[in-house]
Every structure is written in C-alpha cells, then in structure tokens.
C-alpha cells in the first residue's frame, strides 16, 4: 500500500501508476468471463416493481446476515451494483448489472435464513456454481425474496425456514462466496428461465439480451442492494480518518509541504463508523524516510496510548510531534494494528480527508563563528563575516538586538545564489552595547544561534 501511494505521488512513476491501474482493471475483466449463473423467475418479465402493488421499501425489515458477519469482497463483483466489471451485452449494448452482494465466506460456512419464510425454489446455480435457494418472506401484504447462491443444501421447495436457522453451507467451489440477493416482490411460480448474478440492463423496449452464449432477460429493477438491510445485523467496526492528517513545523518557519529539521507537530482524528466496537492494539502516525526505516528505526510520530477502544461513532483525536534526525523525503500514514497483529495501512479516509502526507525535510545551516566576534558600538556600518556550513541558501539573518527587538537582515542575492557558500557577510550598524543573537534562515529552516558581543 505504501508503494502504491508513493507511485501515485511521483510524477516520474506516472506510467507505472497507469500500468498498475490498467492491471487492476484487467484482473476482474478476465475473471469476469466466469459469469455468475442463472436464476429463474417469470416475475422478471415486468421491470417495473410497482406492478407488484403492495411492495414498499419500508416493508423490508432488518435482515440477519446469512453468514454471521457480512463482508463484501468474496468475488470480483463485490457489491458493485453498477457492475463496472461486468460485460456489455451484446458488444456495445447496455451494461450488465450485478444483482446482489458477493459476501466473503469460506467453503462449508453455515448459511442461515436472513428472515423467516418459505423455500420457493432450490435449483442449480450453473455448472461449477453449486445450488441456489430462493426464499419468500411476508411482511403484512408485502412479499419479498432472498436468494442464497453457490451453496449446498438438502432443503426442498415448500420447507419452512426460521430466521437465523441453518439452511445450507457455502459450496466448496473455486472462488467460494455467497451471492446474496434481495428481490422486492413476490415469487412467481413460472420459474423456468435462467437468470444470472450479472444481468443486462436493457434499453427500454428490449426484453432480453443475447451475449453470444446466454439469452438473459433484462435487468429486473426489483433486485436491490441487500447491504443496507443487513447493516444492523452484521457487526463490523469501520475505522476511518474523519479529520485530515495535518502536520506543521513547530516553529512555523516552513511553508506547507517542506520542513526544516526542527520539531514537527501532527494531528488527525479517527472515528469508528461501523456498528460494533473496536479495540486497536496500536494507533500510529507511522513514518518512512523514502520507503525505509534507516537503521531499523522508523521515523514515527510519538506513539499513542496502546489498546484504544472505540465504540460506534466514537472519535479519537491525536496530537503529537516528531523531530527528524536527518533530511530527506518522508512519508507519513495514519495506521493501526489489530489485536491479531495485522496492520491496517493506511487507515481508510472519509469525505476526502487526508490520511497520508509526504514532506521534504531540508537540512538546516550551521553557524560556527563570527569575525570579529567582539566589536565596539558604532553608528557606522560594520561588516561581520559569519562562517559555518550549509549557509549557501540563507535568505536572511534574524537578529535579536540587546534590547530584545528583532530585525531581519537580508542577504545579498549574490550570496544566496552561491549555494556552495559557507560564509555570509553581515553588513549593518551595531549601535547598542550588549549581546546580539543571530540565526541564518533559509526558506525552510534555520541555523543555530550565534552571539556577537558589542562593547
Ligand atoms: Zn454475485
């Protein structure tokens, strides 16, 4: 993940990033040739579910997750309702749509009924795709169906099933997962035609779409995304960065994006947007110098307290600091470690918040000596030569006068351009007796303080 982030930020790696994007596109396209199988119902002849009269969305209660914890991602379609990974049908025709959620599940995982109902059909989900179960549920006058695809079952049509009670197990097919569908409307007994998990969204007037192998009926609008109806029954924490990661130089010298060697402050907020609590072993603003941890010491911000627990919608705000030990390009990410030792890197962000920052830390110049180090107060300009290292990019010297006032003396452009210079000529009037404190400032950082005594 780190590598991907770096690629996306680096213009020299733009081509690599494009290639990476193309590749991630190609993978689902190739697996997509393994089309999800058919499911049949004559109900589909109407693409307008209002024809079913009594149905309203409110009639669907909160459903129980059929496999304990519902997480999409069991198959390339996930819960890709627009089915951007599906084919057009036929070529240049309408896009197909995915008609359910592909839930992560290991083979043999017990499948339970999402709600009490009656089994209406048990049928082959296609060669190599095991079986499908269609269950009808009632809520007052409203009826709706749930579909469990790619399972093994002994149930027969007509069987009564209870919410939360086993009805099947996830089949041990390659790409094992549970395709869970939710159909808003009653079952139609004229089940004779096949329907697959990914169906064509035909243009108006068309009733079917032949893709060269299957003649699919048009995408029936009565299939809806089941995930919102499962939310309350699928306990999942979901930690997101809810306030952007921000870092700033402790002394406010540096413009954004570039920093000096001084202390750097960092803040961000994470929120648990899931519906169950999470206990993080460790939450961290993790750093890398480039992509590495020099000498096995990662340039992390001050660690936070361990074992941070967040209830749903609870927030944790971080504020800490970090002092770079060497110049270079740094990457920082908001990350956390689960109790099982796995890292979430980086933590997801919401609403465009930032969870990753790259900064450049510039080395600061060093002042070693002033010549002369002691001089007499005078109303005439006097020249003092400051020597040290890394003074070439000095733009100005910040001078604290003996009375505490501060003035900036700008360095002649000639000296600024001479980036190899290790000396600065300070040409000014030293009128007051006492100690002058001098620092050399570059655009990003500044040097140590040097003193000049004036008698
Ligand atoms: Zn599916």
What is the predicted pLDDT for the residue at 57?
A: 47
What is the predicted pLDDT for the residue at 379?
A: 92
b/e sequence 376-385, b meaning 16+ C-beta within 10 Å: eeeeeebebe
Provide mean pLDDT across the span 430-443: 92
What would the pLDDT profile of 131-146 be if each residue is shown by its tens digit? 999 999 988 777 888 9
Binned at pLDDT 50, 70 and 90, residue 225 comes out as confident
Q: Which range is least confidently modeled, 45-59, 179-193, 267-281, 294-308? A: 45-59
pTM listed for this prediction: 0.46
Higher pLDDT, 154 or 273: 154
Q: Which residues pair with 151 in a beta bridge?
A: 131, 170
Cα of 274 from ligand 1 centre, angstroms: 24
Cα of 100 from ligand 1 centre, angstroms: 6
What would the pLDDT profile of 315-347 be if each residue is shown by its tens digit? 999 999 999 888 899 999 999 998 888 888 878
Pick the closest to residue 203 from 219, 191, 216 (CA basis).
219
The yes-or-no verdict on residue 270 having pLDDT over 90 is yes
Q: Where in the chain are the domains?
A: 1-31, 34-233, 236-361, 366-454
Q: What percent of the chain has pLDDT over 90?
A: 38
The yes-or-no verdict on residue 117 having pLDDT over 60 is yes
What would the pLDDT profile of 414-423 be if each residue is shown by its tens digit? 777 776 788 8
Higher pLDDT, 210 or 118: 118
What is the predicted pLDDT for the residue at 96?
A: 64
What is the predicted pLDDT for the residue at 232?
A: 47
Mean pLDDT taken over the chain = 76
Cα of 238 from ligand 1 centre, angstroms: 23
Cα of 102 from ligand 1 centre, angstroms: 5
What is the predicted pLDDT for the residue at 33?
A: 28
Specify the CATH number of the domain 34-233.
2.70.70.10
Cα of 180 from ligand 1 centre, angstroms: 7
* Protein residues within 5 Å, CB atom, of ion ligand 1: 36, 77, 102, 179, 197
Instruction: List C-alpha distances in Å: 77 to 74, 99, 197.
Output: 8, 10, 9
Strand 450-454 and strand 374-375: pairing?
A: parallel
Torsion, CA 121, CA 124, CA 130, CA 136, rounded to 10: -20
Binned at pLDDT 50, 70 and 90, residue 253 comes out as low
Cα of 189 from ligand 1 centre, angstroms: 23
Higher pLDDT, 72 or 93: 72
What is the predicted pLDDT for the residue at 321?
A: 93
Cα of 114 from ligand 1 centre, angstroms: 17
Cα of 186 from ligand 1 centre, angstroms: 21
**CATH among 3.90.45.10, 2.60.40.10, 3.30.390.30, 1.10.287.3510 for 366-454:** 2.60.40.10
**CATH among 3.30.70.20, 2.60.40.3880, 3.30.870.10, 2.40.10.220 for 236-361:** 2.60.40.3880
Higher pLDDT, 44 or 438: 438
Cα of 145 from ligand 1 centre, angstroms: 16
Cα of 52 from ligand 1 centre, angstroms: 25
Higher pLDDT, 168 or 80: 168
> What does the alpha-carbon distance between residue 443 and residue 251 come to, in Å, rounded to a whole number?
13
What is the predicted pLDDT for the residue at 123?
A: 85
What would the pLDDT profile of 346-402 be if each residue is shown by its tens digit? 787 777 788 999 998 888 888 999 999 999 999 999 999 999 988 888 889 999 999
Cα of 76 from ligand 1 centre, angstroms: 8
Cα of 79 from ligand 1 centre, angstroms: 8
The yes-or-no verdict on residue 91 having pLDDT over 50 is yes
Cα of 99 from ligand 1 centre, angstroms: 7
The yes-or-no verdict on residue 254 having pLDDT over 60 is no
> What does the alpha-carbon distance between residue 375 and residue 453 come to, in Å, rounded to a whole number?
7
């Amino acid at each position: 993940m780190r590598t991907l982030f770096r690629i996306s930020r680096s213009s020299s790696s733009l081509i690599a990033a494009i290639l990476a994007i193309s590749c991630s596109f190609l993978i689902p396209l190739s697996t997509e040739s393994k089309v999800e199988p058919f499911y049949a119902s004559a109900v589909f002849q109407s693409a307008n579910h209002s024809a079913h009269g009594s149905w309203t969305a409110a009639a669907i209660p909160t459903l129980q997750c059929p496999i304990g914890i519902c997480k999409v991602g069991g198959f390339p379609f996930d819960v890709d309702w627009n089915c951007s990974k599906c084919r057009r049908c036929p070529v240049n025709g309408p896009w197909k749509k995915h008609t359910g959620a592909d839930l992560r599940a290991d083979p043999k995982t017990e499948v339970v009924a999402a709600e009490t109902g009656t089994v209406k059909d048990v049928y082959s989900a296609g060669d190599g795709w095991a079986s499908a179960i269609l269950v009808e549920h009632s809520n007052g006058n409203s009826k709706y169906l749930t579909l469990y695809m790619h399972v093994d079952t002994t149930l027969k049509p007509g069987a009564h099933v209870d919410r939360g009670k086993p009805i099947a197990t996830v089949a041990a097919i390659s790409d094992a997962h549970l395709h869970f569908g939710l159909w808003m409307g009653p079952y139609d007994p004229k089940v004779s035609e096949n329907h697959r998990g990914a169906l064509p969204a035909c243009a108006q007037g068309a009733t079917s779409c032949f893709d060269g192998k299957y003649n699919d009926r048009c995408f029936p609008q009565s299939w809806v995304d089941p995930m919102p109806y499962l939310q309350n029954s699928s306990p999942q924490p979901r930690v997101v960065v809810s306030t952007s990661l921000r870092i700033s130089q402790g002394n406010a010298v540096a413009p954004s994006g570039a920093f000096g060697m001084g202390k750097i402050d960092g803040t961000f907020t994470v929120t648990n947007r899931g519906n169950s609590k999470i206990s993080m072993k460790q939450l961290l603003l993790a750093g890398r110098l480039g992509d590495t941890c020099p000498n096995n010491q990662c340039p992390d911000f001050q660690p936070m307290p361990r074992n941070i627990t967040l209830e749903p919608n609870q927030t944790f705000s971080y504020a800490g600091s970090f002092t770079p030990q060497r110049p270079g390009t740094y990457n920082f990410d908001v990350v956390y470690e689960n109790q099982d030792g796995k890292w979430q890197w980086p933590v997801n962000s919401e609403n465009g918040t930032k969870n990753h920052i790259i900064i450049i830390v510039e080395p600061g110049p060093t002042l070693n000596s002033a010549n002369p180090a002691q001089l007499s107060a005078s109303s005439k300009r006097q020249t003092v030569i400051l020597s040290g290292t890394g003074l070439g990019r000095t733009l100005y010297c910040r001078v604290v006068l003996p009375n505490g006032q501060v003035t900036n003396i700008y360095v002649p452009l000639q000296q600024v351009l001479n980036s190899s210079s290790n000396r600065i000529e300070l040409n000014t009037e030293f009128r007051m007796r006492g100690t002058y404190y001098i620092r050399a400032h570059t655009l990003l950082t500044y040097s140590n303080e040097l003193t000049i005594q004036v008698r």
